Structure 1
Amino acid sequence: MKALILFGALLLSTPLSAAQLNLELGASPRTWQTEELLKHPQAQTITITNDVSYKRDMSYRAVPMAALLTGTKPDDHLQAVALDGFAAELAAAPLLNTHQGARAWLAIEDPAKPWPPLSEGKHSAGPFYLVWTDPQAGNISPEQWPFEVASIKRMAPVAERFPALLPDPALKADHPVNKGFALFQKNCLACHRLNGAGDAQFGPDLNIPFNPTEYFGAKFLKRYIRDPQSLRQWPQAKMPGFSSTVLPEGDLDLLVGYLKHMAGRKIKP
């Protein structure tokens, strides 16, 4: 019995192992190890106010994302893929910002100083976590804070990769449905597919077999997006609520409008 207790104590005291981050930004992929990133010349300790994942102020050792995205241009499109299949679609321009306003950082979990678990019985946000200082200045969505990041890749834009997501091509570029499509890419595509299109492995398809606008009344769908647990409660729920600060009422209407439009454009995978 004593031997078992000692063995368990040793397991609990074993530090986290180092990890690696894969960057695929062009012809020459780059792999960063935890130790390399912690010693990066631009690494510094930053404080994040009201961290999206931890719901409180947090301090991290972090490197500016702009310092890691070598050769990336502002009009490039990137995808950050997490260990659990979360795939955040990210415009490069905000990530490259080094001036005033929202700034992106790669927080690095030091194996010798592990971060706290996200909740009881769960893991931390490490080994790598994309965080933002002054996110309100850039209208940064919670979906642009991927944690457990394993790789960051330069990709073709979503519309080119997944034509099944596209609204009716007859609609003008500034049509509300196309504005809703842009919001869908920013806020939903990291977790959900639609018409089988998308890279996420996390949440259900939002059009096949049924679109949420087909089984939710408009008011309840909006309530669900604002606060999922207010309509459906279960311990392992992972969908975050989108407050009016993150998704203003007008944007929420545009997003629901896109979903309703796509209910009439089903394409089976």
Structure 2
Amino acid sequence: MRAWVAFIPLICSLTVSAAEGVKPSAQLTVELADGVHTWTTAQLLALPQAQTIKIPEDVSYKRAMTYRVVPMAVLLKGVNPEQHLQAVATDGFAAEMSAGPLLATEKTGSRAWLAIEDPSKPWPELGKDKQTAGPFYLVWTQPKAGNISPEQWPYAMAKVRLLASVAERFPVMRPDPALAADDPVNQGFAIYQKSCMACHRLNGAGDSQLGPDLNHPHSPTEYFAAGYLKSYIRDPQSLRQWTQAKMPAIPASVLSDGDLDLVIGYLKHMAQRRDVAK
């Protein structure tokens, strides 16, 4: 999980001018089926769809924030709702997302926006000696309506790209194909993609560079005593106090007890499928 700490996405397409007296400039890369599109801060702010919105409960800043934004749908022309996208940040955070919610344009329900940091009006830092959430930050209005999780609020975004599904890209992460589609293990796999994959790899597969692999050399379901893995996920500092730790506490309001059990069930299953990565 990353939205509570100063994290976010992978191959850096962010360019900053260090020349004295030159304001920082940034560039967002959007990779779609029709090619690679690049947008500078100035180009995005000049779009006719640019507007100002208020986010009452910002995930990263933990308070109300006002941003200059453009609808994500404007940047994703030609993408179909059933397709899959990945938002990549400068620190290795890689958020996997279904395209559907990002394309929504209705005034009711969840809606995705690209918040753009104006170099002349920088946003606050996320904490002492930390960066801001800029230069690009994916924010949502009415997130609860679409069950949008904190991992779907990537900040310091550098790239958005159209990709095949996780199961297609990383077969070694898939549960036993003999299992039914609605098997609890497959349900756990779906939740893992949304809630864990932005920070962790599994069986050596995945695009994130933040957290440790959750199956190599061992699964946490193997080295945590019964009950302690749940406690660790809910509050890592309750088991192992470490000021440099990046993993945040994940409350039930973000990941329900039922969903947490499904994720752990998936991890237990994959501990028996470590050989699929060989």
For the aligned residue pairs, the C-alpha RMSD in angstroms reads 1.6
Moved more, 77-86 or 212-221: 212-221
When residues 222 and 16 of structure 1 are mapped into structure 2, their CA distance, relative to the original with a 3 A threshold, is farther
**Helix, strand or coil at the partner of 1:183:** helix
Moved more, 215-224 or 138-147: 215-224
Whether 1:73 and 2:80 are equivalent positions in the alignment is yes
Q: Would you tell me which structure has more helix in proportion to its own residues?
A: 1
CA shift at 1:40, angstroms? Answer: 1.3
Aligned residue for 1:190? 198
Whether 1:21 and 2:28 are equivalent positions in the alignment is yes
Whether 1:131 and 2:139 are equivalent positions in the alignment is yes
- Which amino acid is 1:149 matched to? M
- Which amino acid is 2:134 matched to? G
CA shift at 1:38, angstroms? Answer: 1.1
- Which amino acid is 2:232 matched to? Y
Cα shift readout 1:115-158 (whole Å, capped 9, x = no counterpart)? 11111011111110011111111111111111110010000000
Which of 254, 260, 264 does residue 272 from structure 2 map onto? 264
Where does the alignment leave 5 or more consecutive residues of structure 2 unmatched?
Answer: 1-17
| Distance (whole Å) between structure 1 residues aligned to residue 141 and residue 251 of structure 2 | 19
Which of 79, 87, 96 does residue 94 from structure 2 map onto? 87
| Distance (whole Å) between structure 2 residues aligned to residue 97 and residue 254 of structure 1 | 28
Structure-to-structure mapping, 1:7-86, within 5 angstroms: 17-86=24-93
Whether 1:144 and 2:152 are equivalent positions in the alignment is yes
| Distance (whole Å) between structure 2 residues aligned to residue 80 and residue 192 of structure 1 | 15
Structure-to-structure mapping, 1:240-251, within 5 angstroms: 240-251=248-259
Cα shift readout 1:224-266 (whole Å, capped 9, x = no counterpart)? 2222222223233222322222211111110111011111111
Aligned residue for 1:103? 111
| Distance (whole Å) between structure 1 residues aligned to residue 270 and residue 23 of structure 2 | 44
| Distance (whole Å) between structure 1 residues aligned to residue 88 and residue 270 of structure 2 | 26
Structure-to-structure mapping, 1:202-221, within 5 angstroms: 202-221=210-229
State how many pairs are aligned. Answer: 258
Matched-pair identity in %: 65
**Helix, strand or coil at the partner of 1:23:** strand
Runs of 4+ with >6 A deviation? none
Report if aligned partners of 1:178, 1:258 keep a CA contact under 8 Å in 2. yes
* Higher CA-based Rg: 1
CA shift at 1:15, angstroms? Answer: 7.4
Where does the alignment leave 5 or more consecutive residues of structure 1 unmatched?
Answer: 1-10
Which of 120, 124, 128 does residue 116 from structure 1 map onto? 124
Relative to the length of structure 2, the TM-score reads 0.89
Report if aligned partners of 1:15, 1:112 keep a CA contact under 8 Å in 2. no
| Distance (whole Å) between structure 2 residues aligned to residue 218 and residue 105 of structure 1 | 41
**Helix, strand or coil at the partner of 2:66:** strand
**Helix, strand or coil at the partner of 1:22:** strand
| Distance (whole Å) between structure 2 residues aligned to residue 129 and residue 155 of structure 1 | 20
Aligned residue for 1:222? 230
Report if aligned partners of 1:23, 1:30 keep a CA contact under 8 Å in 2. yes
**Helix, strand or coil at the partner of 1:126:** coil
Relative to the length of structure 1, the TM-score reads 0.92
- Which amino acid is 1:86 matched to? F
**Helix, strand or coil at the partner of 1:106:** strand
